Structures are given as C-alpha cells and as structure tokens.
Amino acid sequence: MPIATPEAYAEMLDRAKANGFAYPAINVTSSQTLNAALRGFAEAESDGIIQVSTGGAEFLSGTTVKDMVTGAVALAEYARVVAKNYPVTIALHTDHCPKEKLDGFMRPLIQMSAERVARGEEPLFQSHMWDGSAVPLEENLTIAAELLEKCAKARVIMEMEIGVVGGEEDGIVGEMNEKLYTTPADALATAEAVGLGEKGRYLLAATFGNVHGVYKPGHVKLRPSVLKEIQEAVGAKYGKEKPFDLVFHGGSGSALEEIHEAISYGVVKMNIDTDTQYAFTRPIVDHMFRNYDGVLKVDGEVGKKKMYDPRSYGKAAEAGMAARVVQACQDLKSAGQKMR
C-alpha cells in the first residue's frame, strides 16, 4: 500500500498531529523528480506527500499539449506503479488551484475520483487544494463549502487557504500586505462555513507571513503565534483542542525554530518546492561545468556520449533532490515515523 488509501491518509495526518511532526509535501514536475521524492522519503523512513501544481501538471502533459488534467492523471498513474518499490506510504495531492482553473483542473479530478469510488476503487488523488486567497473571504468560503461536499463524496480530503501567501508561484502573485496574516475572525468564519470535519475533512493553509519563493534571511517576517491564536479562538468556541489541521506554505528560508513552533500549533503538512528544485538542478550544473567538452561537441570533436547521456546527470540530480527531501523530513521530525 505505497499510495495511501483514504483511511491511511487520515491516519498519517492524525499521527503527525498527535506526535508533533509534519510531512514534507514535495512538488514534482516529472517522473524523475517523483522518483527523487520517493527515494528521499524512503531513505528518511518517513511517509510523505507528493504534489503537483497546475503548472507542474501542465508541464507533465507535454510542453505542446499543456493539459493540466492529462498531466495530473499521468503522474498519479505512474506514481502508483513505481511507488510500490518503496517501503513508505505516500499521499498524492494537487497544489494551488485558483478560481479560474477550477473547471480545468480540480473539479474534473474530483469527478474522476468520484467515478472510481463508485466502481469500488480508490480515489485518484488523496487531496486537492482550493486556493481562494485571491477572492473575498465570503466567496472563498462559499466555493470551499461546495468543493468540500464533492471531495467528501469522492473520499478525498480538501485543502483550502485563508489569507494570502506572498510572492509568486505558477503565476499566482500574492501581495505583501496585512493579508499575509490570518485573523481569528477569518478562522471563526471558516469553521462556521465548512465545519470542523463533520462536513468532510479538510486541511487549512492559514497564513502567518508566508512568502512563496526564496529570499535572504530576514526578508520573510513569520509570526507562527498567529496559528496559536486562531486555534485557540476556534477551539474555545467549539470545545476542541487544535481544531484545524494546518498547512505551512512559503517556508523557504524559514528558521528551524519557526518551523518547529508552527508544528507545535498543529501544522501537519509543509509545502516544499523551491529548495528541492535547486537541489535537483545544482548537480546538473556541476556536471555540465565539469564536463564541458564531454557534453558539447567542441571544435569538431565528438564529445563523450556517457557525459551527455541524460542518465549521467539525471542520477546526480535525483540524488541531490533526495538528500534535500531527507533533510526536510529531519527538519519536520517525520524521519523514522513511517507507519509500516
């Protein structure tokens, strides 16, 4: 059972929250980056989450095809085949889906899972993210309620975002303003609109100064205490401790103590993309610089086939990214926590 069943995914999230760790959610854009993530989780003895964004799914379909659903389905099916060789449990997730892409990405994928479940099969993905950060909160929550109902019927967990993550990812730009910090009022409105699990399980990406991309230390002003405030406000009203399963977006450059503080307030998932992209690309650059006259046919020479064979630098790239995934598991305390 390398790809999590709905029950196994729920158990993963429950274990993380109860035992004070979070899962790295690794964005992938190819079969090779998928393999790197699987390798990293296995080496860390950690279960994990592998996810694809709208842009990543589009890229996976072929650069002239650019069909998000095709790319996402291809990734999920490929993952089911190759993940069987790794002794960890993996959940598949789709990342940020804004309003204008719902009909071309998230809704069709939910429908596919619903059809699979009706046939007695497992859902295609284990969770999907609705990104309503660009619309007013009331509209965000109205759409979230509709999507949550559909996800619940398809045995899929929904992720949603309140507040805004700054920076840019896949063309989604978040401004750097007060909306970077979710308020208790936002959280209370969320609980009222979509419940606290009784209408379907969801993950909540509440913002506390998060910014997509990579920045020098000191640029990002995180306030993890915001997460504590919203958990306490909603928990007090509904009589539940840490009522939300929280997600940490835009964490590149965050101090380890900030990450651990966020986990202590109920973060169970942390998205990682920028850092693993660099860890994948850096060994390729090293290979090209070191083997310039091998990867290129310079001055009429023939080069060296072993040097320009994509497998030669691809192996180094996979190893580099896998090592960064291991580090992420260690930082988030999921290393050694696998269920089987």
Residue 61 assigned ligand-binding role:
no
Residue 251 assigned ligand-binding role:
yes
Say what the alpha-carbon torsion angle 227, 190, 56, 90 is, to the nearest 10 degrees. 70
3-state SS string for 170-227: CCEEECCCHHHECCHHHHHHHHHHHCCCCCCCEEEEECECCECCCCCCCCCCCCCHHH
Residue 131 assigned ligand-binding role:
yes
End-to-end, the C-alpha distance of the chain in Å comes to 9
Distance, CA of 151 to CA of 146 (rounded, Å): 9
3-state SS string for 35-67: HHHHHHHHHHCCCEEEEECHHHHHHHCCCCCCC
Alpha-helical regions (H) of 6-119: 6-19, 31-44, 54-60, 68-82, 107-118
Residue 299, phi-psi category: left (phi > 0), alpha (psi -120 to 50), beta (remainder): left
Active-site hit among 47, 67, 95, 293: 95
Tally of CB atoms within 10 A around 74: 17
Residue 273 assigned ligand-binding role:
yes
Residue 169's SS3 state is: strand
Residue 96 assigned ligand-binding role:
yes
Distance, CA of 139 to CA of 152 (rounded, Å): 20
Nearest to 280 by CA among 6, 74, 34, 3: 34
For this structure, is 95 an active site residue?
yes
Residue 252 assigned ligand-binding role:
yes
Residue 161 assigned ligand-binding role:
yes
Residue 271 assigned ligand-binding role:
yes
Which 8-state DSSP code applies to residue 83?
G
Residue 219 assigned ligand-binding role:
no
Contacts of 290 (CB under 8 A, 6+ apart): none
Residue 250 assigned ligand-binding role:
yes
**Binding site residue list for Zn(2+):** 96, 131, 161, 212, 249
Q: Which residues are known catalytic residues?
A: 95
**Binding site residue list for dihydroxyacetone phosphate:** 213, 250-252, 271-274
**Binding site residue list:** 96, 131, 161, 212-213, 249-252, 271-274
